[in-house]
Amino acid sequence: EAGVAQSPRYKIIEKRQSVAFWCNPISGHATLYWYQQILGQGPKLLIQFQNNGVVDDSQLPKDRFSAERLKGVDSTLKIQPAKLEDSAVYLCASSPTLSGNTIYFGEGSWLTVV
């Protein structure tokens, strides 16, 4: 069974530029998450989808971050404009349902903003 796929794996951009990350969850998983992990910290939830609907985006900086999951399968996370403090690993994860199940993570997209 294929795991959670993310791309690109690494990205370096200048501040005020934009970047987009793509995620393809495990087939059949209804729930998709985007987490931000800053070096030395635990992951922090940015947004959670159930199929193509948003369940929780309370910690998403909506002035610069956006995410979509239009067809309820793959998802895109965009940052525009990027700030230095956005340097982090962006982890996508999926699970079969909202809760009670193991969550499977991708290997992450590493962003450096200079």
Partner 1 sequence: KQEVTQIPAALSVPEGENLVLNCSFTDSAIYNLQWFRQDPGKGLTSLLLIQSSQREQTSGRLNASLDKSSGRSTLYIAASQPGDSATYLCAVTSNSGYALNFGKGTSLLVTP
Q: Which CB atom, from 18 or from 112, has the smaller least distance to partner 1? A: 112
**At closest approach, how far in Å is the CB of 18 from partner 1?**
24
Strands 10-13 and 109-113: parallel
Residue 30: helix, strand or coil by DSSP? Answer: coil
Say how many CA atoms lie within 13 Å of 96 toward its Cβ. 3
**At closest approach, how far in Å is the CB of 46 from partner 1?**
10
The residue ranges that bind partner 1 (CB under 8 A) are 4, 31, 33, 40-45, 48, 55-56, 91, 93, 98-108
Q: Which CB atom, from 14 or from 85, has the smaller least distance to partner 1? A: 85
Q: Which CB atom, from 22 or from 105, has the smaller least distance to partner 1? A: 105
Asked if 24 and 5 touch (Cβ cutoff 8 Å), the reply is yes
**At closest approach, how far in Å is the CB of 9 from partner 1?**
9
**Dist CA 111 CA 89 (whole Å):** 6
**What residue has token string 């499977």?**
104
**What residue has token string 């393809």?**
24
**At closest approach, how far in Å is the CB of 16 from partner 1?**
27
Q: Which CB atom, from 18 or from 101, has the smaller least distance to partner 1? A: 101
| Single-letter amino acid, residue 6 | Q
